[in-house]
Amino acid sequence: MRRLLLLVAPLLLLNAGSSSFVCRLPLNFPTSKEITHSVSVTAEAVAPSGRRRSTTPPANGTPGQQIPLVNFIDVDVFGKMATDGIAPTTLSTDEEFLRRVSLDLTGQIPDSAAVTAFVADTTPDKRAKKIDELLASDAFADRWTMWFGDLVQNVQVASNSREFYEGRNVYYNWMKTAFKNGEPYDQMAREAMAGKGDSFAVGTPNYYVRQLQPNGPIQDTFDNLATHSGERFLGMPLLCLSCHNGFAHLEQVNSYLAAKKRADLWSMSAFFAHTRATPQPGDPNNPNVRKYMVDDTAPNGTYLLNTVSGNKTPRCTVDATTGKCTGTITSASPAFILTGETPRQGEPLRDAYGRMVTAHEQFGRAAVNYIWKEMFGLAIIEPTNNIDPAKLDTQATNPKLLEDLRTSFVASGYNFKALLRSIAISSTYQLSTKYTPGGWNEAWTADYPRHYPHRLSSEMLLDAIAKSTNVFPSFNVQGIGTVTKAMQLPDTTEQARNAYGRLLDEFGRGNRDEVMRTNDSSIAQALSLMNDTIVTTRVKRTTNGSTVNKIMASTTDPGSIADQLYLATLSRKPTSSERSTAISYLQSGNLQQKTEDLQFALLNSLEFLFN
């Protein structure tokens, strides 16, 4: 539906000024092709001179407004907007930028002091420096470990398998360390897909454990591994092929896969046929706790075409000509579905698998598409797990952008931080949320002419409530200890039985199994934000160390109270009219109550809930 809207978007042409919008390329700015091969963190640290605005910005929506094209992203995005005749809005304010980039890169809102210092900073490249600072923080690893944990679905209990908390934790710690150390993304993927050893002692074998299918033959587990990695690392719905050929099924779903056969998927699954997960007692005091030794202990293991039960349609010995079950081929041998490539002589099968998956362009394409979605709330190809390599030009809202992001990511050696930095430093990312050139049309969303707000994720929201009120929860996590941020929880089923867990569930964290993460809204969310004591006690002066408590200990001046509450909650100073409204409210009754009410109302403002 969204794509259809986009196709007609150019026909809808806009207000008078926008069609004459001209995208200005700085004179010496490299073309996107050049920059994709030279992009690096240091090269971008110095933004083009157009970024410095010593004078007031031009009036909103002025045609030809000076928006610097910082890198290839801007060239592609503003180029597309120019083609489509859509005018971009203005750049974000420092406050708007800081809140956004802090949430996106670290999952946390900035505290008041950080906002004040950032606004006061006159250093020309302060935004770039802030991005680097955030990328280097521990909170960066927390936030992206949550993302990667969702991607590989690291969870202690799932409907098909149990990692137990011990396996979940060691897997979680592996991810977090990898993000902290800046491990290349392709290497992380390869390590996970070939993980071996004791699932309670080593993180990566849990990738295999998570896909174990108990109610079927081992081929079902092999299929899970191939289809899961196909979906999560290649962004393609290989699951469809695990029951039937693509022909006459997938034409409308994924035309590339429509030409593939179930046998092609079997060949993907066959890469796992040497691997076994052997259960072992995981806890001397509890016989129900099992860990697994995952290793390539079945060198002669093959993917046999001999099943009649389990989770898939029967696997039969197909005749290559007739397609009937009367054939003589009794097993599938490993071959990569996208290229037909087979393992090298002597190469361990899962190593070959990881090598081929991560070497294929679809790997980087899927990754940048996911990450773009994390930063903008809307991916270049939606849904992110159904990329059709045969239809990239029509499926992607901006095919060139997708390709340039991919080549940039590959050229950086799958440097996760460098990719995020390229995005965060771009003017595209730094556009304002407010659309000021004229009336807004929802159909323009995928052109990114403004930063389009999306609801904070479950964990971001709870952490933002805690940080803005300065009252932090204490989560006891089995095997890890106490953490004070929801973003530090090792999986999305943690704390399920307490009020925080209920709130996190209400805000759609999902369960890394059959409940998907969502940032939809609901009645339950609104009720909780207004009436849950998680919120209402945090705005009380009588709550120890609360923001309201601290403010009121230092001042009774309504103007100062308003300033401090806006800063702590919305990460910005109030506008003059907001300030005077707040002052009259604070003066309209008991100051303590009114102060509490003001922060309550700010916590319930759409601006707080969205980013």
Query: To the nearest whole angstrom, how small is the minimum distance from the Cβ of residue 319 to other proteins?
Result: 9
Distances 517 to 131, 175, 492 between C-alpha atoms, Å: 26, 19, 9
**Comparison of 422 and 546: residue with beta carbon closer to other proteins:** 546
For the bound state, the minimum distance from the C-beta of residue 325 to other proteins, rounded and expressed in Å, comes to 4
Q: Which is nearer to other proteins, 8 or 248 (CB)?
A: 248
Q: Residues 200, 205, 210, 213: is their CA dihedral positive or negative?
A: negative
Query: With respect to other proteins, which residue has the nearer C-beta, 524 or 552?
Result: 524
Report CA 451 to chain centroid distance, whole Å. 16
A 10 A CB-CB count for 573 gives 17
* Residue with Cβ nearer other proteins (30 or 438): 438
| 195 C-beta neighbours (distance < 10 Å), count | 23
Place of tokens 């060198």: 299
Q: Smallest distance, Å, CB 307 to other proteins? A: 9
The Cα 577–Cα 608 span in angstroms is 18
Contacts of 209 (CB under 8 A, 6+ apart): 161, 163, 167, 199, 277, 292, 294
| Cα-based distances in Å from 462 to 134, 444, 468, 469, 609 | 20, 31, 10, 11, 10
Output 343 or 510, the one with its CB closest to other proteins: 510
Least distance (Å) between residue 599 CB and other proteins: 10
C-beta closer to other proteins: residue 25 or 157: 157
Closest approach of Cβ 153 to other proteins, in Å? 10
For residue 63, the 8-state DSSP code is T
The token duo for 555 is 């001042």
Give min distance, CB of 540 to other proteins, in A: 9
DSSP bridge pairs for 162: 157
CB 160 within 8 A of CB 213: yes
Q: Which is nearer to other proteins, 75 or 603 (CB)?
A: 603
SS3 574: coil
Give the shortest CB-26-to-other proteins separation in angstroms.
31
CB of 356 to other proteins, least distance (A): 25
Q: For residues 341 and 597, which CB has a smaller minimum distance to other proteins in the complex?
A: 597
- The DSSP symbol for 275 reads -
Whichever of 23 and 316 has its CB closer to other proteins, that residue is 316
The distance of Cα 176 from the centroid of its chain, to the nearest Å, equals 15
Task: Give one DSSP letter per residue of 19-34, joined into a string.
Answer: GG--PPPPTTPPPHHH
Give per-residue burial for 245-270: e unless 16+ CB within 10 Å, then b.
bbeeebeeebebbbebbbbbbbbbbb
- Closer of 186 and 506 to other proteins (Cβ): 506
294 near 196, Cβ under 8 Å?
yes
CB of 28 to other proteins, least distance (A): 36
CA 196, CA 421: separation in Å to the nearest integer?
A: 33
For other proteins, give the closer residue by CB, 395 or 408: 395
Shortest CB 464 distance to other proteins, Å: 15
Show the 3-state SS of 318-358: CCCCCCCCCCCCCEECCCCCCCCCCCCCCCCHHHHHHHHHH
